[in-house]
Structure 1
Amino acid sequence: MRPLPSPGRALSASFALLLATAAAVLAAAPPAAAHGTLAMSTPAEGATVTAPVTSVELYFTEKVAANAYFTITAPGGGRVDGGWTYGSPKPLDKPVREYFMVDGKFEPREYTTGFPAVVTVAHLPAAGQYSVSYLSVASDGEAVRGTMTFRYAGKATAVPRGWTAPTNQPDPALVAAVERHGTSAGQGSTGSPSAPAAPPVSPVPPAAAPAGTVDDGGGSPAWVTWSGWAVAIAAAVAGFLGWRRRPAVASGPPGRARPSGPRSGQRGGKRPAGKTAGASARSAGSSGASARSGGSSVPAVDGAAAGSAVDGGAPAGGLTNTRLALLAGGLVVALLGGFGLGRLGTGGEAGTAGAPAAPTSTGGGAVTAGDGHQHPAGTGPHSHPGDANTAQATGTTVSAGGYTLRPDRRAQPAGATVDYRFQVVGADRRAATRFTVVHDKTLHLIVVGRDLSGYQHLHPTMAPDGTWSVPLTLARAGGYRVYADFTVTATDGTQLPLVLGVDHHVPGAHTPAALPPAAPRAVAGPFAVSMEGTPTIGVTAPMFFRVSRTGAPGPTQLERYLGAYGHLVVVREGDLGYVHVHPEPEMVDGAVKFWLTAPSTGRYRAFLDFQVAGEVHTAEYTMDVA
């Protein structure tokens, strides 16, 4: 039979486990939230209104900048905003907690007043979903960027006499301020993330501290949190010292048996000497129960406490089985009690707001993303952890984030099909082999000519050594750009989305194709595809695509392709910057809806992939962003 651990060793293990748990919880980073964020709106996010609205009120935790930019987009993709003004502050429905970096630590403050920007609605051309986008800069320099939506279910309203849809872009000074800060930061109460680099906002219970209260990263006032932890740690240390300072058991010379009489330090001075093994077992069970009563979240304490009680006598150091159980249970209770005190006032939300779900294994070294890559309903505009900036194009470099795209070949003959092979090499000079599933694939390979022709969307397969391969045919001579769009999974489980690009060459005489003029309609095989919406610099704008069969009225039944009803790739003319575009997972008012943030003025080529009757088609557009 396996020998049971000694009581002292078991107690030491329990104590060490408790301290390690406390250290881990104390070290947990608080959620971080951007400053000046959207707290509520009228209409509310996701609300359905039946009566015509003449304005949308957006309540921020501070006044937006004087040159802030707002748009309202109708279901058909046209803008219906008519300018904006400041409104009168009013109490928020729920206080909002935002975080500031103070001496290297996030310090939260809670706000109870909303400062509105009132955006005029010129008219409501149709029933359906309306999107309100905003861009501003907070007083601390953070970019405030995001989108909220509401649905109108009433009758269309008339266009005001003399009114024309606005086409203005944001103030260049505002865009420059956002770019200087280098990251998107807004997330309103809508729950639709606009940038993970910007931490989420935490609504707090009505009993929360007033605005301006500074507390610890856990979300409660600092004195409550640290008092709670002080109680826990003090109780643990006191218990440990009390055990260690009890008089030692008298012992004789080496090899001599210990006295069987009463042990020093026992209250009452006596203890039955003939305790049976069965009694010891019952005591062990009592100890385990005591540990469990302290909280089931520390299961390892069960075994430690139980083992320390099974010795047929009192534990070393003068603790009886009952006292040992009480001490172990008390340590657990103190730890959990301190944690509970430290979390008072948070409502349990500070640690969960905007937190990504843990990745789940799908086999083969890949995991399904839990950071929004699968785009649940209502996801809205967003970027991903690792995206440097939603306002910046990616794929212009062969290396980023510590990873390098390393192809086996950089050229191939025109018209020939070759096995295009490459690796994604990390800073350790080893090929990465763990990737996250994004849109049903672990890696998307995009190929486009330098004149923005010859678009291909491929899906390579990976060998166990991290070498990817895919057949590649390039019919025309000229230069090409190859983009690897993927999310690598580190050994610690963190996920880093990246787009790496590398040049590829097909030798021979080459005349660059002229970029077609901008047009809202494209033909893809037997289908006509309309594009609606206005690409906007630095602002997350909705873009709608409607597919119909040529010569046949009404929409065409689309099928899901790679987990969505459409996929959009946008590439900038010149540097061939690759722009992240994200779809809504469901059709919106009969259209495929995307969220696009144009990084700069210039011309872009957009490629829409969609599937009908098992066949994938691609519609191509030129976008002019003035």
Structure 2
Amino acid sequence: MRRCPRTTVRVTSGLLALLLATAVTLLADTTPAAAHGSLAMSTPKADATVSEPLTTVQLYFTEQVVPNAYFAVTAPGGTRVDNGWSHGQPRQLDRPVREYFLVDGTFQPREYTTGFPAVVNLAHLPAKGRYTVSYLSVASDGEAVRGTMSFRYTGAVTPAPAGWRPPTDQPDPSLVAAADQHGHDSEPSPASAAPPASAPPAAAPAPTSDGGPGAGTWTAVTIAVAAVLLGLLVWRRPVIVGRLLGRAERTPQRARGSRKGPKSVPSRSAAPAGRTRSGSATRARSGATDRRRTTVVAAARSRGEAVTAGPAATASSTALSTPPSTAPGDEPPPVDRSSNTRLALLVGGLVVALLAGFGLGRLGGGEQPAVTDARPGGLSVPAAGSAVDGHQHPPGTGAHAHTGDGGDQVAGAWVSAAGYTLQPVQRSQPPGVRVDYQFRIVDGNRQPATDFAVVHDKPLHLIVVGRDLSGYQHLHPSMSPDGVWTVPLELPRAGDYRLYADFSVTTADGRQLPLVLGVDHHVPGVYTPAQLPAPEPKATAGPYAVSMEGTPTIGLSAPIVLRVAGASGPAQLEPYLGAYGHLVVVREGDLGYVHVHPEPELVDGAVTFWLTVPSAGRYRAFFDFQVGGKVYTADYTLDLS
């Protein structure tokens, strides 16, 4: 049986590899995203540029928002310009939106073609630039519906109505409670939960067929294609099946005439099967063949084999250059099985991928997926400003999630989370003395963790704040090989402090797990707590005046804009720790911690953060920025009590 042509092997291998990659991709994502009552489209469209004055913004959801839904429109200067909202007339969506509902333990798709608008009135357009619309509602199944959309306005400035004042209201507490009852943006919540009392019956369209192939269809197609390719391979070379089953290949005996010398069978360059070459015919080959024979003879001599001159040498070289026939009692010649092994591995990998995907799909059928916010254009990503584990990210960050340690979008109130514990070496130090503060991060086995991911240029950030929300410091410890972190720390005032370790550890399975762990630290002496300063939109940091623009909102992502100006005008901000600024917000009382990440680029010369205030209360915000190679911190009080 002749070998399978090299081209056929390569083509078949490539097709099987492509099929294997496709099967893994299709079967890896077995759990659908759930986003109920989500934003389907808007007028103007998200990220659109508008040149004509607007009086309303219309947001189309897959079901009608609740009567106490909350909407806020923020102008480029950070002031709100919304002037109430109302329900609009339903209309057909530009593109259908598919959502998933948990029915009898499995997720069933529903396709929505009708949008239910919330019409948000705009009082005026005070400036050119980006306008942001934030929204908060509760879907009919109890899911929180929250997020933002933005558009850029380039038209003429319009005046405000006489006597109008920018709104400062916060969402209805019952709305925030209903939204938080079923989890936050990045946390799963029961899809079968009953709607809250404030939610009216939603006019949900009847489920329709999704029209696309399901997992079973893809599996059937994949198996059929694999069977065709495998059949082609077996048809081209049946002996592979025997080898895979462990049977040794035997070359059948051919009747040959009585002749002396070693027998030979044709090589690839020899005559077709069934023909033999005599010694004299072999000696008559071309000069190129003679050179090849010389090389073979030299190789035989290097192995210590006896090679004689003349016809005997020719016969020996012929025997070396072509595999001999298998005589009775002889072992079969060695065969190169690398191509067969690769093909067998590809086929086996394809089968394993299909079985694993099917098993994962069955296991994942009863699990609840992460809640996401379906955006216009069919992209499903976490809502802007969603926060888990004390981290909040801007819209441009991209789709990702963190494993949280509980608490309503704050962290740092616990010394342990997700199996990791902050273990300080010392819990106290004298006032006004610089000491080397040391600690470890230990895992569930009480072993020091040593594999940390670099986030914002550092593997770990240590934040220090007094219990009275004064004495802020942002430090960067160094770790020894045994997992002990060390950083110089000086605390000039007596009192109690909270130390937050903000890091991302690499778990045993290779995942990056971001966490914030907090621990108390005591400085003995007479302690007089400082009074929290009154809220002010401006602060001083060194020679710079820093203004905060925007309205922090409970339970809702809102843009917070920070502008830095010197004596001669806007300051030239420099990247600090991988960003143009960092904002740490600490809640009074339990010292809950929120670390807000800015947009990657300056927006109209300012640093923009997307902050979700987790609850009513008072907060202290610390804004770190860098100018001329020096880091400054501006402090603000946020009062949402």
> Normalising by the residue count of structure 2, what TM-score does the alignment of the two structures yield?
0.70
Relative to structure 1, is the Cα distance of residues 396 and 260 closer, same or farther in structure 2, using a 3 angstrom cutoff?
same
Cα distance in 1, alignment partners of residues 552 and 577 from structure 2: 24
Number of the residue aligned with 1:260: 253
Number of the residue aligned with 1:566: 581
Cα distance in 1, alignment partners of residues 325 and 506 from structure 2: 52
CA contact (8 A) 2:78 2:549 kept: yes
The yes-or-no answer on 1:414 pairing with 2:431 is: yes
Number of the residue aligned with 1:212: 207
Number of the residue aligned with 2:94: 93
Q: By how many angstroms is 1:91 displaced?
A: 2.9
SS at match of 2:597: strand
Cα distance in 2, alignment partners of residues 257 and 457 from structure 1: 75
Unaligned runs of 5+ in 2: 1-12, 190-204, 256-262, 274-321, 327-331, 359-374, 383-390
User: Structure 1, residues 300-323: CA drift from partner, whole Å, max 9, x if none?
Assistant: xxxxxxxxxx99999x9xxxx9xx
Q: By how many angstroms is 1:580 displaced?
A: 3.1
Number of the residue aligned with 2:296: none
SS at match of 1:583: coil
Cα distance in 2, alignment partners of residues 418 and 311 from structure 1: 79
Number of the residue aligned with 1:470: 487
User: Structure 1, residues 261-288: CA drift from partner, whole Å, max 9, x if none?
Assistant: 69xxxxxxxxxx97634379x99xxxxx
The yes-or-no answer on 1:451 pairing with 2:446 is: no
Cα distance in 2, alignment partners of residues 453 and 119 from structure 1: 40
Relative to structure 1, is the Cα distance of residues 492 and 485 closer, same or farther in structure 2, using a 3 angstrom cutoff?
same
Paired amino acid for 1:612: V
CA contact (8 A) 1:196 1:383 kept: no
The yes-or-no answer on 1:125 pairing with 2:126 is: yes
Q: 2:402 aligns with which of 354, 375, 385?
A: 385
Number of the residue aligned with 2:599: 584
Cα distance in 1, alignment partners of residues 71 and 248 from structure 2: 86
Cα distance in 1, alignment partners of residues 250 and 576 from structure 2: 78
Cα distance in 2, alignment partners of residues 96 and 55 from structure 1: 24
Paired amino acid for 2:445: D
CA contact (8 A) 1:571 1:577 kept: yes
SS at match of 2:85: strand
SS at match of 2:570: coil
Number of the residue aligned with 2:199: none
SS at match of 1:437: coil
Matches within 5 A, 1:52-67: 52-67=53-68
User: Structure 1, residues 58-104: CA drift from partner, whole Å, max 9, x if none?
Assistant: 12222222221110001111111111122223333333333344555
SS at match of 1:576: coil
Cα distance in 2, alignment partners of residues 19 and 143 from structure 1: 40
Relative to structure 1, is the Cα distance of residues 131 and 26 closer, same or farther in structure 2, using a 3 angstrom cutoff?
closer
Q: By how many angstroms is 1:480 displaced?
A: 0.2
SS at match of 1:113: strand
SS at match of 1:499: strand
Relative to structure 1, is the Cα distance of residues 232 and 416 closer, same or farther in structure 2, using a 3 angstrom cutoff?
same
SS at match of 1:379: helix
Cα distance in 1, alignment partners of residues 240 and 503 from structure 2: 61
Relative to structure 1, is the Cα distance of residues 94 and 256 closer, same or farther in structure 2, using a 3 angstrom cutoff?
closer
Paired amino acid for 2:181: R
Relative to structure 1, is the Cα distance of residues 435 and 228 closer, same or farther in structure 2, using a 3 angstrom cutoff?
same
Paired amino acid for 1:531: M
Relative to structure 1, is the Cα distance of residues 535 and 108 closer, same or farther in structure 2, using a 3 angstrom cutoff?
same
Matches within 5 A, 1:431-450: 431-450=448-467
Number of the residue aligned with 2:218: 225
Question: How many residue pairs align between the two structures?
Answer: 513
Cα distance in 2, alignment partners of residues 614 and 353 from structure 1: 40
Q: Which moved more, 1:603-612 or 1:113-122?
A: 113-122
Relative to structure 1, is the Cα distance of residues 388 and 156 closer, same or farther in structure 2, using a 3 angstrom cutoff?
farther
Relative to structure 1, is the Cα distance of residues 603 and 388 closer, same or farther in structure 2, using a 3 angstrom cutoff?
same
Number of the residue aligned with 1:543: 560
Q: By how many angstroms is 1:444 displaced?
A: 0.9
Q: 1:512 aligns with which of 493, 515, 529?
A: 529
Q: 1:554 aligns with which of 566, 569, 574?
A: 569
Cα distance in 1, alignment partners of residues 147 and 573 from structure 2: 29
Relative to structure 1, is the Cα distance of residues 165 and 455 closer, same or farther in structure 2, using a 3 angstrom cutoff?
same
Identity of aligned residues (%): 58
Q: By how many angstroms is 1:110 displaced?
A: 3.5
Paired amino acid for 1:225: W
Q: Which moved more, 1:600-609 or 1:381-390?
A: 381-390
Paired amino acid for 2:266: T
Cα distance in 1, alignment partners of residues 41 and 18 from structure 2: 42
User: Structure 1, residues 426-456: CA drift from partner, whole Å, max 9, x if none?
Assistant: 1122222222222221111100000001000
Relative to structure 1, is the Cα distance of residues 467 and 332 closer, same or farther in structure 2, using a 3 angstrom cutoff?
closer
CA contact (8 A) 2:16 2:347 kept: no
Number of the residue aligned with 2:268: 278
Paired amino acid for 2:571: T
Q: 1:608 aligns with which of 623, 627, 632?
A: 623
Q: By how many angstroms is 1:328 displaced?
A: 7.5
Cα distance in 1, alignment partners of residues 598 and 624 from structure 2: 12
Matches within 5 A, 1:99-498: 99-102=100-103, 105-184=106-185, 195=186, 212-213=207-208, 220-221=213-214, 224-232=217-225, 259-260=252-253, 276-278=266-268, 379=396, 384-387=401-404, 391-498=408-515
User: Structure 1, residues 233-270: CA drift from partner, whole Å, max 9, x if none?
Assistant: 66589899999999999xxxx999874269xxxxxxxx
Give the aligned CA root-mean-square deviation in angstroms: 4.5
Number of the residue aligned with 1:81: 82
